[in-house]
Amino acid sequence: MEETYQKLRPVGLLERWCTQRHAMNFYPNVIVTSSYQVTACKLATLKPHLYGALGSVINTHPILSAIVMNEGLASAHFVRLPEIRLEDILSVHTVTKSRDLELLLESEHSRRFTTPGNPFWRLALLLPGGEEEEIEAFELMFIYHHVLGDGLSGPAFHRSLHVALASASPGPAKIPSPTAPLFKPLEDLLDFHVSLLVLIVALWRFVFPPQPAAGQWTGAPITPDPVTRVRILSLPTDVVTGFTSRCRAENASVTSALIHIVGAAFLCALPETTTELLFQAPISARRWLPPMYADVIGNWVTEDIQPYVHRRRVESANIWAAARATKARLEKTVQNDGRNTAVGLLPWIGDYDSYFASKVGTKRDVSVEISNLGVCREQRRVVFSQSAGVDGPAVAVSVAAAKEGMVLTFNWQQGVVEERVVAEVVRLVEVAVRRAVVGEM
């Protein structure tokens, strides 16, 4: 079959990380959902206009025409599909309440991209009523393989589609692929130098994992059972505005504050013997790239090598002090322009298959991930979510803000943490954010 596909380029190191995890069913996909408004029409009218707009989006982002051959092997490389059959990758669903969205996300996050001839992305059109009713508003899920893009690639896709849909004419359901080349992989664009000391420490910790601190919690050990669970917390605009202002007044960032608010919530929901949590927070590498990379689909992300620690002794009165310290560390990492971050360690992995296979049955490196897309200013509502990473944190909290507020999506792997714990954490986080707004925290 590969003979019919145009060969593009080998996958980069970060891309290889993503393809290996997908091949082993460790991490199926990323989803970013955005809301749309259109002139009242029926589904039969909307679909052709959506196809026409998607043709424009695919031409703008040629990575959408690419899939990976030999996924999970050292010879993994991108090839280009000759065409994209949109009718094969667009599903339609009725979603009337938040739980409907959670259940659909759980289903989609457990599905990999394995259908021959289909791209490494798909769409789910979410309607507030039946398919025969007139449509004035809808939500669209962009579900994509992590090798195609990072979290910010989701809003980039939706921004392009919003613009294209505003002036779209009806288009065909089959779109010929563009001919533009792919961008170079991240490691070819930036110097992810790792100092000798940082490298030695990282390799030592890999060969001789340190004993976890007494009371440290990272969920159940790594197990190859990729069923994703989802809970959504939606915060209205007035609360988000107040919380952002409070963070600014305390010289904290939203991300650093959420690390410690979520940490405090987990320590309340978990047994009292739990005293320490380890957090990670992905950092966009787009800030270190030329401006043209700000709004394209691609995988431009890294993270600190060492996790951020939240301890039980950080009581409410000290949350802001801890958030300030974490913000300072995040800013220091940003100032290093990618040096001494996780991408710089990828050349030392060697055999990716053995690396990930060796993790099964072992302790997780981190408790919680806070991944924040920031503010998607042009969009009304954005929901960012991820598949539960088999080898990843016990819980991933994916954050996105837009005109109608901020949504925090809690994703976890079934069996790694109890559902009642996550439900209590979601409740406590909302209480804490609202208390912060009125100065009670």
Dump pLDDT digits (tens) for 245-266.
999 999 999 999 999 999 999 9
Q: CA-CA distance, 230 to 386, in Å (whole number)?
A: 9
Q: Over pLDDT 90: what percentage of the chain?
A: 90
Q: What 3-state class would DSSP assign to 344?
A: helix
pLDDT of res. 318: 85
Residue with tokens 């002090």: 321
Q: Are 145 and 65 a contacting pair, CB within 8 Å?
A: no
Q: CA-CA distance, 128 to 93, in Å (whole number)?
A: 9
Give 165-197 pLDDT, tens digit per residue.
999 899 999 999 999 999 999 999 999 999 999
List beta partners, residue 400: 407
- DSSP string for 18-87: HHHHHHTTS---EEEEEEEEEEEE-HHHHHHHHHHHHHHHHHH-GGGGEEEESTTSTT-EEEE-SEEEHH
pLDDT of res. 440: 82
pLDDT of res. 225: 79
Domain annotation for the chain: domains and CATH numbers: 2-178 (3.30.559.10), 211-437 (3.30.559.30)
Quick one: tokens of 85? 């059959």
Give 93-115 pLDDT, tens digit per residue.
999 999 999 999 999 999 999 99
Beta strands in 290-435 (DSSP E): 301-302, 308-311, 368-375, 382-386, 395-402, 405-413
Of 31, 113, 26, 22, which Cα lies nearest the Cα of 409? 31
